[in-house]
Protein backbone atom coordinates (compact mmCIF):
# COMPACT_ATOMS: atom_id res chain seq x y z
CA UNK A 1 0.00 0.00 0.00
CA UNK A 2 2.74 2.48 0.96
CA UNK A 3 4.48 1.80 -2.35
CA UNK A 4 1.25 2.12 -4.35
CA UNK A 5 0.61 5.68 -3.16
CA UNK A 6 3.83 7.22 -4.52
CA UNK A 7 3.27 5.21 -7.75
CA UNK A 8 -0.18 6.75 -8.14
CA UNK A 9 1.18 10.20 -7.39
CA UNK A 10 3.94 9.71 -9.99
CA UNK A 11 1.43 8.54 -12.57
CA UNK A 12 -0.85 11.52 -11.92
CA UNK A 13 2.07 13.94 -12.23
CA UNK A 14 3.09 12.27 -15.49
CA UNK A 15 -0.45 12.41 -16.94
CA UNK A 16 -0.79 16.10 -15.99
CA UNK A 17 2.62 16.82 -17.47
CA UNK A 18 1.66 15.13 -20.75
CA UNK A 19 -1.63 17.07 -20.84
CA UNK A 20 0.23 20.33 -20.30
CA UNK A 21 2.64 19.50 -23.11
CA UNK A 22 -0.04 18.33 -25.53
CA UNK A 23 -2.11 21.48 -24.98
CA UNK A 24 0.95 23.70 -25.51
CA UNK A 25 1.24 22.69 -29.18
CA UNK A 26 -2.26 23.84 -30.31
CA UNK A 27 -1.67 27.05 -28.32
CA UNK A 28 1.67 27.56 -30.09
CA UNK A 29 -0.03 26.93 -33.45
CA UNK A 30 -2.84 29.38 -32.65
CA UNK A 31 -0.37 32.05 -31.53
CA UNK A 32 1.83 31.63 -34.61
CA UNK A 33 -0.77 31.23 -37.32
CA UNK A 34 -3.76 33.17 -36.08
CA UNK A 35 -2.19 35.85 -33.87
CA UNK A 36 0.89 35.98 -36.11
CA UNK A 37 3.20 35.91 -33.08
CA UNK A 38 6.00 33.84 -34.52
CA UNK A 39 7.69 31.91 -31.71
CA UNK A 40 10.28 29.13 -31.95
CA UNK A 41 9.37 25.63 -30.87
CA UNK A 42 12.89 24.28 -31.29
CA UNK A 43 16.35 25.70 -30.64
CA UNK A 44 19.52 24.77 -32.46
CA UNK A 45 22.31 25.76 -30.12
CA UNK A 46 25.92 25.53 -31.30
CA UNK A 47 28.14 24.49 -28.41
CA UNK A 48 31.48 24.09 -30.16
CA UNK A 49 33.10 24.47 -33.58
CA UNK A 50 35.74 21.83 -32.82
CA UNK A 51 35.28 18.76 -34.98
CA UNK A 52 37.07 15.44 -35.44
CA UNK A 53 36.20 15.34 -39.17
CA UNK A 54 36.51 17.63 -42.15
CA UNK A 55 33.55 16.72 -44.34
CA UNK A 56 33.44 17.79 -47.98
CA UNK A 57 29.94 19.25 -47.72
CA UNK A 58 30.55 21.25 -44.53
CA UNK A 59 31.53 24.93 -44.46
CA UNK A 60 34.97 25.87 -43.09
CA UNK A 61 33.21 27.47 -40.07
CA UNK A 62 31.83 24.03 -39.14
CA UNK A 63 35.25 22.76 -38.12
CA UNK A 64 37.10 25.95 -37.30
CA UNK A 65 38.22 24.74 -33.86
CA UNK A 66 38.08 28.16 -32.21
CA UNK A 67 35.61 27.80 -29.34
CA UNK A 68 34.03 25.65 -26.65
CA UNK A 69 31.06 27.74 -25.50
CA UNK A 70 31.17 28.24 -21.70
CA UNK A 71 28.55 26.51 -19.55
CA UNK A 72 27.12 29.74 -18.10
CA UNK A 73 26.75 31.24 -21.55
CA UNK A 74 24.85 28.12 -22.64
CA UNK A 75 22.62 28.40 -19.57
CA UNK A 76 21.69 31.99 -20.51
CA UNK A 77 21.03 30.96 -24.11
CA UNK A 78 18.81 28.08 -22.97
CA UNK A 79 16.85 30.38 -20.66
CA UNK A 80 16.48 32.96 -23.43
CA UNK A 81 15.18 30.34 -25.90
CA UNK A 82 12.82 28.77 -23.37
CA UNK A 83 11.35 32.19 -22.57
CA UNK A 84 10.77 32.79 -26.27
CA UNK A 85 8.67 29.60 -26.34
CA UNK A 86 11.09 26.88 -27.44
CA UNK A 87 10.66 23.43 -25.87
CA UNK A 88 13.01 21.22 -27.92
CA UNK A 89 16.75 21.58 -27.97
CA UNK A 90 19.36 20.34 -30.42
CA UNK A 91 22.99 20.81 -29.38
CA UNK A 92 25.01 21.28 -32.55
CA UNK A 93 28.57 21.76 -33.70
CA UNK A 94 31.21 21.17 -34.87
CA UNK A 95 31.01 17.81 -33.21
CA UNK A 96 28.92 18.33 -30.04
CA UNK A 97 30.25 15.18 -28.33
CA UNK A 98 33.63 16.96 -28.10
CA UNK A 99 32.17 19.67 -25.85
CA UNK A 100 33.76 20.00 -22.40
CA UNK A 101 34.86 22.77 -20.08
CA UNK A 102 37.62 23.50 -17.59
CA UNK A 103 35.40 22.38 -14.66
CA UNK A 104 35.28 18.85 -16.09
CA UNK A 105 31.75 19.15 -17.44
CA UNK A 106 30.80 17.20 -20.56
CA UNK A 107 27.86 17.20 -22.98
CA UNK A 108 25.62 15.21 -20.63
CA UNK A 109 25.83 18.12 -18.17
CA UNK A 110 24.26 20.28 -20.88
CA UNK A 111 21.37 17.84 -21.30
CA UNK A 112 20.81 17.95 -17.51
CA UNK A 113 20.93 21.75 -17.69
CA UNK A 114 18.42 21.88 -20.57
CA UNK A 115 15.96 19.73 -18.59
CA UNK A 116 16.51 21.92 -15.52
CA UNK A 117 15.61 25.00 -17.59
CA UNK A 118 12.42 23.23 -18.70
CA UNK A 119 13.09 21.78 -22.14
CA UNK A 120 11.00 18.71 -22.90
CA UNK A 121 13.31 16.87 -25.20
CA UNK A 122 16.98 17.01 -26.20
CA UNK A 123 18.57 15.84 -29.42
CA UNK A 124 22.16 14.89 -30.20
CA UNK A 125 23.37 15.25 -33.79
CA UNK A 126 26.68 13.43 -34.14
CA UNK A 127 29.05 12.06 -36.73
CA UNK A 128 29.18 8.85 -34.68
CA UNK A 129 32.97 8.62 -34.58
CA UNK A 130 33.00 8.37 -30.79
CA UNK A 131 30.88 5.99 -28.68
CA UNK A 132 27.70 7.78 -27.56
CA UNK A 133 25.90 4.97 -25.69
CA UNK A 134 25.98 6.96 -22.43
CA UNK A 135 24.26 10.05 -23.86
CA UNK A 136 21.37 11.57 -21.91
CA UNK A 137 19.87 12.94 -25.14
CA UNK A 138 16.30 11.76 -25.70
CA UNK A 139 16.99 11.16 -29.36
CA UNK A 140 20.17 10.67 -31.36
CA UNK A 141 20.74 11.47 -35.02
CA UNK A 142 23.86 10.00 -36.56
CA UNK A 143 24.88 11.61 -39.84
CA UNK A 144 25.48 8.91 -42.44
CA UNK A 145 26.10 10.22 -45.93
CA UNK A 146 25.76 6.99 -47.89
CA UNK A 147 26.56 3.33 -47.43
CA UNK A 148 30.23 2.35 -46.87
CA UNK A 149 32.52 3.91 -49.48
CA UNK A 150 29.99 6.62 -50.38
CA UNK A 151 30.00 7.88 -46.81
CA UNK A 152 33.81 7.65 -46.63
CA UNK A 153 34.09 9.70 -49.80
CA UNK A 154 32.39 12.62 -48.06
CA UNK A 155 33.67 12.14 -44.50
CA UNK A 156 37.00 10.32 -44.75
CA UNK A 157 38.40 6.78 -44.98
CA UNK A 158 37.17 4.39 -42.28
CA UNK A 159 34.49 6.71 -40.88
CA UNK A 160 31.57 4.48 -41.93
CA UNK A 161 33.04 1.45 -40.17
CA UNK A 162 33.45 3.43 -36.94
CA UNK A 163 29.94 4.85 -36.89
CA UNK A 164 28.45 1.48 -37.82
CA UNK A 165 30.17 -0.06 -34.77
CA UNK A 166 29.10 2.79 -32.48
CA UNK A 167 25.49 2.59 -33.72
CA UNK A 168 25.34 -1.16 -33.09
CA UNK A 169 26.86 -0.81 -29.63
CA UNK A 170 25.00 2.30 -28.44
CA UNK A 171 21.81 0.63 -27.18
CA UNK A 172 19.99 3.99 -27.47
CA UNK A 173 16.23 3.47 -27.81
CA UNK A 174 15.65 6.45 -30.12
CA UNK A 175 18.48 6.39 -32.62
CA UNK A 176 18.04 7.44 -36.24
CA UNK A 177 20.32 8.33 -39.12
CA UNK A 178 20.33 11.35 -41.43
CA UNK A 179 21.82 11.55 -44.91
CA UNK A 180 22.77 14.76 -46.69
CA UNK A 181 22.34 13.82 -50.35
CA UNK A 182 24.65 15.46 -52.88
CA UNK A 183 25.95 14.82 -56.40
CA UNK A 184 28.65 12.44 -55.11
CA UNK A 185 26.54 10.12 -52.96
CA UNK A 186 22.99 10.18 -54.40
CA UNK A 187 23.44 6.69 -55.92
CA UNK A 188 23.66 5.28 -52.41
CA UNK A 189 20.21 6.42 -51.25
CA UNK A 190 18.51 3.02 -51.81
CA UNK A 191 21.32 1.05 -50.19
CA UNK A 192 21.29 3.31 -47.13
CA UNK A 193 17.51 3.00 -46.74
CA UNK A 194 17.95 -0.78 -46.82
CA UNK A 195 20.77 -0.52 -44.23
CA UNK A 196 18.44 1.47 -41.93
CA UNK A 197 15.66 -1.08 -42.37
CA UNK A 198 17.93 -4.07 -41.70
CA UNK A 199 19.68 -2.57 -38.67
CA UNK A 200 17.66 -3.16 -35.48
CA UNK A 201 19.55 -0.35 -33.71
CA UNK A 202 18.16 2.24 -36.17
CA UNK A 203 14.59 3.55 -35.92
CA UNK A 204 14.40 5.60 -39.08
CA UNK A 205 16.28 7.53 -41.72
CA UNK A 206 15.85 11.20 -42.64
CA UNK A 207 17.05 12.92 -45.79
CA UNK A 208 18.41 16.38 -46.36
CA UNK A 209 19.72 17.61 -49.69
CA UNK A 210 22.94 19.49 -50.19
CA UNK A 211 22.64 23.19 -49.47
CA UNK A 212 25.23 25.20 -51.41
CA UNK A 213 26.85 27.04 -48.51
CA UNK A 214 29.88 29.13 -49.51
CA UNK A 215 32.76 26.87 -50.56
CA UNK A 216 30.57 23.78 -51.04
CA UNK A 217 28.59 24.81 -54.15
CA UNK A 218 30.11 22.09 -56.37
CA UNK A 219 28.29 19.32 -54.43
CA UNK A 220 24.84 20.69 -55.24
CA UNK A 221 22.67 18.40 -57.38
CA UNK A 222 20.87 20.08 -60.25
CA UNK A 223 17.14 20.38 -59.63
CA UNK A 224 16.17 17.69 -62.13
CA UNK A 225 18.40 15.15 -60.39
CA UNK A 226 17.32 16.31 -56.92
CA UNK A 227 13.67 15.83 -57.84
CA UNK A 228 14.34 12.34 -59.24
CA UNK A 229 16.08 11.38 -55.98
CA UNK A 230 13.15 12.77 -53.96
CA UNK A 231 10.71 10.70 -56.05
CA UNK A 232 12.81 7.60 -55.35
CA UNK A 233 12.72 8.32 -51.60
CA UNK A 234 8.94 8.83 -51.71
CA UNK A 235 8.57 5.47 -53.49
CA UNK A 236 10.56 3.73 -50.70
CA UNK A 237 8.45 5.47 -48.07
CA UNK A 238 5.23 4.34 -49.73
CA UNK A 239 6.53 0.77 -49.70
CA UNK A 240 6.84 1.01 -45.92
CA UNK A 241 10.56 1.67 -45.52
CA UNK A 242 11.39 3.65 -42.33
CA UNK A 243 11.81 7.10 -43.93
CA UNK A 244 11.18 9.88 -41.42
CA UNK A 245 10.39 12.67 -43.91
CA UNK A 246 6.70 12.98 -44.67
CA UNK A 247 5.54 12.64 -48.28
CA UNK A 248 4.08 16.17 -48.14
CA UNK A 249 7.37 17.53 -46.79
CA UNK A 250 9.37 15.75 -49.51
CA UNK A 251 7.05 17.02 -52.25
CA UNK A 252 7.53 20.56 -50.96
CA UNK A 253 11.31 20.09 -51.18
CA UNK A 254 10.90 19.64 -54.95
CA UNK A 255 9.81 23.26 -55.43
CA UNK A 256 12.71 25.66 -55.73
CA UNK A 257 12.22 28.79 -53.62
CA UNK A 258 9.08 27.67 -51.77
CA UNK A 259 8.21 30.05 -48.87
CA UNK A 260 10.26 29.25 -45.76
CA UNK A 261 8.80 29.12 -42.26
CA UNK A 262 12.14 28.56 -40.61
CA UNK A 263 11.31 30.76 -37.62
CA UNK A 264 9.95 27.54 -36.03
CA UNK A 265 13.55 27.00 -34.89
CA UNK A 266 15.77 29.73 -33.49
CA UNK A 267 19.54 29.37 -33.84
CA UNK A 268 22.28 30.47 -31.50
CA UNK A 269 25.64 30.43 -33.23
CA UNK A 270 29.03 29.61 -31.79
CA UNK A 271 29.91 33.30 -31.28
CA UNK A 272 26.62 33.82 -29.42
CA UNK A 273 24.78 35.45 -32.31
CA UNK A 274 21.06 34.88 -31.86
CA UNK A 275 19.13 34.30 -35.06
CA UNK A 276 15.33 34.03 -35.15
CA UNK A 277 15.62 31.50 -37.98
CA UNK A 278 18.05 29.32 -39.94
CA UNK A 279 21.52 30.81 -40.70
CA UNK A 280 20.93 29.85 -44.34
CA UNK A 281 18.88 33.03 -44.65
CA UNK A 282 21.92 35.14 -43.73
CA UNK A 283 24.03 33.20 -46.27
CA UNK A 284 21.45 33.69 -49.03
CA UNK A 285 20.98 29.92 -49.45
CA UNK A 286 17.19 29.75 -48.96
CA UNK A 287 16.10 29.22 -52.57
CA UNK A 288 18.37 26.19 -52.92
CA UNK A 289 17.90 25.02 -49.33
CA UNK A 290 18.12 21.26 -48.91
CA UNK A 291 17.28 21.01 -45.22
CA UNK A 292 14.10 18.96 -45.11
CA UNK A 293 13.04 20.66 -41.91
CA UNK A 294 12.05 23.55 -44.21
CA UNK A 295 9.67 21.31 -46.17
CA UNK A 296 8.32 19.72 -43.00
CA UNK A 297 7.71 23.11 -41.36
CA UNK A 298 5.96 24.42 -44.47
CA UNK A 299 3.69 21.35 -44.47
CA UNK A 300 3.00 21.39 -40.71
CA UNK A 301 1.82 24.99 -40.90
CA UNK A 302 -0.47 24.08 -43.78
CA UNK A 303 -1.95 21.30 -41.68
CA UNK A 304 -0.79 18.36 -43.81
CA UNK A 305 -1.85 15.37 -41.69
CA UNK A 306 1.06 13.09 -42.68
CA UNK A 307 3.58 15.78 -41.69
CA UNK A 308 1.83 16.52 -38.39
CA UNK A 309 1.86 12.80 -37.58
CA UNK A 310 5.54 12.45 -38.53
CA UNK A 311 6.37 15.46 -36.34
CA UNK A 312 4.41 14.14 -33.36
CA UNK A 313 6.03 10.71 -33.70
CA UNK A 314 9.43 12.37 -33.78
CA UNK A 315 8.89 14.80 -30.93
CA UNK A 316 6.44 13.34 -28.47
Ligand X SMILES: C[S@@+](CC[C@H](N)C(=O)[O-])C[C@H]1O[C@@H](n2cnc3c(N)ncnc32)[C@H](O)[C@@H]1O
Site residues (vs ligand X, CB under 6 A): 51, 57-58, 62, 92-93, 95, 125-127, 143, 178, 180, 208, 210-211, 213, 216, 290
| CA gap 173, 267 in Å, rounded | 27
- Minimum CB separation of residue 253 from ligand X in Å reads 12
Nearer to ligand X, 294 or 308 (CB): 294
- Minimum CB separation of residue 65 from ligand X in Å reads 13
| CA gap 153, 213 in Å, rounded | 19
- Minimum CB separation of residue 286 from ligand X in Å reads 13
Distances from the Cα of 29 to the Cαs of 23, 35, 79, 85, in angstroms?
Answer: 10, 9, 21, 12
Nearer to ligand X, 92 or 138 (CB): 92
Nearest Cα to Cα of residue 191 among 227, 232, 162, 222: 232
The answer to whether 192 and 147 are in contact (CB under 8 A) is yes
CA 191 distance to own-chain centroid:
22
Nearer to ligand X, 33 or 183 (CB): 183
| CA gap 301, 314 in Å, rounded | 16
The helix/strand/coil state of 286 is coil
- Minimum CB separation of residue 55 from ligand X in Å reads 7
- Minimum CB separation of residue 42 from ligand X in Å reads 14
Nearer to ligand X, 244 or 308 (CB): 244
| CA gap 283, 300 in Å, rounded | 25
| CA gap 72, 95 in Å, rounded | 20
- Minimum CB separation of residue 138 from ligand X in Å reads 17
List of E strands, the chain: 42-46, 88-92, 121-126, 139-143, 175-181, 205-209, 265-268, 274-275
Nearer to ligand X, 40 or 146 (CB): 146
Nearer to ligand X, 122 or 308 (CB): 122
Amino acid sequence: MSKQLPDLREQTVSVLDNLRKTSYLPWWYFRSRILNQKRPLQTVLFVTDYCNLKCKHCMEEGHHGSRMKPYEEIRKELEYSYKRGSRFIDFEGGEPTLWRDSEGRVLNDLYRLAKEVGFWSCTLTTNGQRPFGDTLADSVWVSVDGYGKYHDLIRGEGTFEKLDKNIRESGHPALSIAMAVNNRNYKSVGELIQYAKDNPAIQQIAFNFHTPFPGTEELMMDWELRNKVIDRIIAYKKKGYPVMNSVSGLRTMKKRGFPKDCWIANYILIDGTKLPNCPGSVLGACDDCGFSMAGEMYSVLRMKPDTILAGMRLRM
